[in-house]
Amino acid sequence: MSTLLSKKSRQVLLGPLSKNNPITIQVLGICSALAVTAKLEPALVMGISVTIIVAFSNIIVSLVRNTIPNRIRIIVQLVVVAALVTIVSEILKAFAYDVSVQLSVYVGLIITNCILMGRLEAFAMSNSPWESFLDGLGNGFGYAIILIIVSFFRELFGSGTLLGYNIIPQSFFNVGYMNNGLMMMPPMALILVACIIWVHRAKNKELQEK
């Protein structure tokens, strides 16, 4: 087990979950974090899709990294990502059509997700396939966690549901409680991400900029 996950590998896998989180620390992938987090379900699917695509494109690019001419490396990376995105998109359309409709263009736009190009350029181009895979998984999970937290609060307070099930009891609504319409608007996702960053940095003092 210790050989399977060396200290460095563990760092590569778990770092992006907190201290090197792609959204809250590197501030990448914000656009899709705003767009797909009104409900928990699309956010979950988006998180899983991005995780799979980052992990496997990291492996593929890492495998061919020594044969890619430097001047066309971005194009090669894009081809790899586009192929994977197309596969994931087709699978979603076949097996989870409703969710793929909700995600609409944002599945296709994973190609332009800054996290992907960031990981390929910064990690996969200079590391072994196994470590690149772990790095992809870690960053995908780090992205997914933030999406899940944001969409949890947005769906709970914006629609009163979670994964489509009613959570806030009808008796609350009877005495005057109302869902907050602001939660369904993208600006609230930005404010929630800011709150996560606030809590995160308050707990990890070394992350605070001077």
CB of 111 to another protein, least distance (A): 32
Alpha-carbon distance of 191 to 197, in angstroms, equals: 10
* Angstrom distance (rounded) from CA 185 to CA 128: 42
Q: Rank residues 130 and 177 by Cβ distance to another protein and give the closer one.
A: 177
Q: Cβ closer to another protein: 87 or 195?
A: 195
User: Which residues, other chains included, contact 97 with Cβ-Cβ below 8 Å and sequence gap of 6+?
Assistant: none
* 49: number of Cβ within 10 Å: 24
Whichever of 37 and 139 has its CB closer to another protein, that residue is 37
Instruction: Find the shortest distance in angstroms from Cβ 46 to another protein.
Output: 25
Nearer to another protein (CB atom), residue 110 or residue 183:
183
**Least CB distance to another protein at residue 178 (A):** 6
To the nearest whole angstrom, how small is the minimum distance from the Cβ of residue 150 to another protein? Answer: 16
For residue 165, the minimal CB distance to another protein (Å) is 23
Q: Which helix (H) or strand (E) holds 136?
A: helix 129-159
Site residues, another protein (CB under 8 A): 176-178, 180-183, 185, 191, 198
Closer residue to another protein, CB minimum distance, 97 or 198: 198
Contacts 24+ apart (CB under 8 A), 5-9: 5/134, 8/131, 9/130, 9/131, 9/134
Taking the C-alpha atoms of residue 104 and residue 98, their distance in angstroms, rounded to an integer, is 10
Nearest to 22 by CA among 57, 47, 49, 59: 47
